[in-house]
Structures are given as C-alpha cells and as structure tokens.
Structure 1
Amino acid sequence: MSPNAAATAAAPIERLWTVVSDVTAWPRHLDTFDEIVAAAGNGSGGEVGRRFRVRQPGLPAATYEITEWSPPTTFTWVARSPGVVTTAAHILIPTDRGTELALSVEWRGPLAPLVRLLATRRTQRMIEIEATTLTRSPSPMGEARDALLAGIVNHYAARGVRDTSLRTLASAVGTSQRMLNYHFGSREDVLTAVIDVIAGQQARQIGALFAQAADPFEAGRRNWDETVAGAQVFAPLWFELASHAMHDTPSAGRLREVMVAAQLREFTRLYAEHTTPGHAASLARLTLAVGRGLVFSLLLDGDRVGADRAISEFTTMVRRALSDS
C-alpha cells in the first residue's frame, strides 16, 4: 500500500491553500524538509512545469516538477530518478469541520518495488507529520516565527533563561534546534528577540495609554496597573535579562536600548509637553527608577497596597514638580 495521510484544519479551504501551496516556506514549519528552492528561472510560485530542488533529512536531493496545479484544491509534483518516478499528491477537501488535507506518495518504475520495501514506513511517518503540522495552524508561514517566539517567551517566563541551550529550549517548546537556528540564529539572537517582545511592548504601552487618556496622570495610573499585571508573569524574566546586561553578555547592547533607552525616550517626550527638556529628562529617569523599584519590592514582599500608596505619593510629587516648573 502506498503511503498516505490526512488531517483536518479548522479553516476555510482558501486559507489552508495559502499554507500548502507555499512550498518554499515548508522548511520553516516542517522538520521533514531541510530546503526547498525554486530551480533557476522558475521563481517561487506554483504552476504546471515549475521545478523545485528538494532536500530532506536522510534522503538524496531530488528535483520535483509540478504536474498538476488547481487552486485551491490540488497540486501534484513528480521527481524522476533512474529506475523510479515519485509522485506526491496534495488534495484539499472542504468539510463541515473545515478543510481536510490528504497527502499521498506513489512510486512507479522498475525499481519501485525495492523503493516501496525500503522507504514505505519512513515515508508514511513523514507525510503523517506533514499533514498534521500543515493543518495545525493554517496561517501564512511567515507567522511561524511569531508563534514560536510566543512559546519561547512563555517558557522563559516560567522557568528562566539560566544556561538553557538551544537544544534544550527546542525540546521544551516542541520544535527542533534546526528550526530555532532557521528563525532566530544563535542563542543570543533568541534572547534579543525575547527582549524585543517584553520590553518593546512596555514602550508601546506607555505611548498608547497616554495618547488615549485625557488626563496624563490617569494614564500613568493605568500604566502602573498594567505593568503590575504583566510583572506577575514576566518580571522575574525581565530582571534576569537585566543581569545579562550588567555582565556585558553578547546581547547586552540591545538590552540597554530596549530596557532603558527606549522607555526613557518615551517618558521624556511625554514630560516635555509640560516642562523644559532638561526637567523632562530628569523626571523620566526618576519615573523609570521608581516604577521598577516598586515592582521589584512588590515581587518580593507581595504588598500591593503599599506599592499602590507609594505610586500615589509619587504621582503627587510629580504633579507638584510640574506645576512649579
């Protein structure tokens, strides 16, 4: 029996087709492919006659040519080698639960019986993985990095960075080291991406809250509430990453930018609407220091009431400072 597999995505056929038909992006999601590159002069899209160089783990490289292309339901490609022709079909079928993806592989030619004997079991496992993975999250392949990064951030928030290797991290978030290398690069690049997420969100949060609120002090209070809510999950990771900057780790330069400089710029800009540039810069640094100091103590002693009172007192001091300027 030829290898075949099927899985269902909770998505319309057109959306799943964007994933299945984007063959050059498959290696970003699928550990069963190392590389898919459009042959010279063929581009990267899919139409009958287009050819792609395909490398898969443990298999010789092969050139596949598309022989059937019927969006959004079907595409088939064929690889020819001495003694055997490999045909792989990809069929999308609308159902009442979404869209079913059916995959199959067939060998023909004088050496086909030998290939079936040697390769059927392994090929069956591979296409089962492919059917499951391609239908699990039927969104454009470009979103794979964001989904993977979200898992990494959550893992680090729960367990810390410590000396976690890429291999250990990959196992923890349900991917491979090769995929981490593909999307991010080195371990330091992974940390930089994590820093951009948790620190970048804070800087954007500051600007958004103050833009929405008529009273800047009310916006400041809301910023404190949201910071505390996020701190319950991410603050231990935040302070651990800050220690990396203090020890001049390879990602320290980026840490200083997003954890200090970016937020100082945002607070300075906001204060400068009410006072002189120099005074605004001083208040910005004071605001950042007070907020982080209170978050640090809150995480250790759990005294939210005391922290809130301190923020109220600080707000009063800032009001007075701005009215006197």
Structure 2
Amino acid sequence: MRFESAITIAAGPQRVWEVFSDVERWPEWAETVTSVALAEPGPLKVGSRAKIKQPKLRTAVWEVTELVEGEYFVWVSRSPGVRVTGGHWVEATPDGTVARSTIDQEGPLSPLIARLTGKLTTRYLALEAQGLKARSERA
C-alpha cells in the first residue's frame, strides 16, 4: 500500500532540503510529530536511526537506507508483520521546488494496518507538506 503527497514550495531546493533533512526539528513545523531523537547527533546519513513519536501512532524507530544529499532520503521502520518505508524527495522546478513524501507499507499485516491508519496517514502527509512549505518559505 502506498500513500503519497507532493507540494510546490516557493523556495530553492537547498532551503527545502535543509528543512526536510533536519529531522530533529520537525516538531517545530509539523503538528503530526511530537518528537524526533537521532541515535547519533549530526546530519542524516545512511545508517542514521531516529526515534519518532507521533500523535495516535506507536513510537517508531526509522533507519535511513538511502540518501543523496540535497535530493532525497529514504528510511525504513519495522514492526511485527509490517515494514514501512518513508521517502522524502526535493526537486527543483521553474516555480521553486516540489517536495514529495511517500509511505509504503509491506508485509502480511500491511492490508490491516492500511485499513486502520490509511486516513490518518493521508492526513498526516498533507499536514506535513503544508508545514514544510510554511517553514521553507519563511526566511
């Protein structure tokens, strides 16, 4: 099951990347995130792990599996019966930057999880996109 959101932001891709990839500051602009704690301080890199608390969801640990500086990062969270992959992309356009987020759920329990949390996931992705836009467009 895949969930996706995209938004055009009136800011350069470098600015959007700075905001998007600074995951410990997400609670400042994303009402869907209560806290983010990196296991090791510093910028994201492949292998970075973050513990994320969100309202109405279980605390999850995410591990970065792919990262191209300034372009995208992908991280994975696992729990019994489901693997969740989150993607975060930044792409320059003539109108500024498009930021895209995806959530992919796989595993034997993924249909049940999608049915239970699908509306919430869709709502959270939209709220996060709006928060990212607002923060990135602010100087």
TM over 0.5: yes
Structure 2, unaligned runs of 5 or more = none
Equivalent of 2:43 in 27, 42, 45: 45
Task: Identify the residue that residue 28 of structure 2 maps to in structure 1.
Answer: 28
Task: Identify the residue that residue 82 of structure 2 maps to in structure 1.
Answer: 84
**Separation in 2 of the partners of 1:11 and 1:139?**
6
Deviation digits for residues 194-244 of structure 1 (CA, Å, limit 9, x no counterpart) = xxxxxxxxxxxxxxxxxxxxxxxxxxxxxxxxxxxxxxxxxxxxxxxxxxx
Deviation digits for residues 44-93 of structure 1 (CA, Å, limit 9, x no counterpart) = 42000010010000111110000111111101111011110010101111
Task: Identify the residue that residue 12 of structure 1 maps to in structure 2.
Answer: 12
Task: Identify the residue that residue 71 of structure 1 maps to in structure 2.
Answer: 69
Give me the CA root mean square deviation: 1.4
Q: Confirm or deny that 1:114 pairs with 2:112.
A: yes
2:3–2:104 Cα contact (<8 Å) kept: yes
**Separation in 2 of the partners of 1:28 and 1:139?**
14
Name the count of aligned residue pairs. 139
**Separation in 2 of the partners of 1:135 and 1:73?**
16
Q: Confirm or deny that 1:136 pairs with 2:134.
A: yes
**Separation in 2 of the partners of 1:14 and 1:78?**
24
In the TM superposition, 1:71-220 aligns within 5 A as 71-138=69-136
Runs of 4+ in 1 over 4 A off after TM superposition: none
**TM-score after normalising by structure 2:** 0.95
Deviation digits for residues 106-136 of structure 1 (CA, Å, limit 9, x no counterpart) = 1011111111111111100000010111012
**Separation in 1 of the partners of 2:28 and 2:134?**
14
1:107–1:116 Cα contact (<8 Å) kept: yes
1:88–1:103 Cα contact (<8 Å) kept: yes
1:36–1:55 Cα contact (<8 Å) kept: yes
**Separation in 2 of the partners of 1:77 and 1:64?**
6
| 3-state DSSP of counterpart to 1:136 | helix
- Per residue, is there more strand in 1 or in 2? 2
State the structure with bigger RCO (CA 8 A, min sep 6), 1 or 2: 2
Measured after TM superposition, the shift of residue 137 of structure 1 is: 3.2
**Separation in 2 of the partners of 1:93 and 1:99?**
5
Instruction: Determine what percentage of the aligned residue pairs are the same residue.
Output: 35
| 3-state DSSP of counterpart to 1:18 | helix
| 3-state DSSP of counterpart to 1:5 | strand
**Separation in 1 of the partners of 2:62 and 2:112?**
21
Structure 1, unaligned runs of 5 or more = 144-325
| 3-state DSSP of counterpart to 1:24 | helix
- The structure having more radius of gyration, on CA atoms, is 1
**TM-score after normalising by structure 1:** 0.41
1:19–1:139 Cα contact (<8 Å) kept: no
**Separation in 1 of the partners of 2:108 and 2:28?**
35
**Separation in 2 of the partners of 1:98 and 1:136?**
13
